Amino acid sequence: MPRKRREAAICDANVLIDFVAADEDIIRELVKYWGTVYVPTRILHEVRKLPMGRAEDLGLTVIETPLTLPSAPGLSGPDRACLHFVVSEG
Which range touches other proteins (CB under 8 A), out of 3-11, 30-38, 57-65? 57-65
User: Nearest to residue 58, comparing CAs of 32, 78, 81?
Assistant: 32
- Which of 8, 24, 38, 46 is the binder for other proteins (CB under 8 A)? 46
Give the x-and-dash track for 2-21 against other proteins (CB under 8 A): -----------xx--x----
Strand partners, 62: 39
Binding of other proteins at residue 39 (CB under 8 A)?
Answer: no
Closest contact distance (angstroms) between CB of 47 and other proteins is 8
Q: Where are the extended beta strands (E) located within the chain? A: 6-9, 35-40, 61-63
Contact 80, 70 (CB under 8 A): yes
Binding of other proteins at residue 75 (CB under 8 A)?
Answer: yes
Contact 81, 43 (CB under 8 A): yes
Binding of other proteins at residue 67 (CB under 8 A)?
Answer: yes
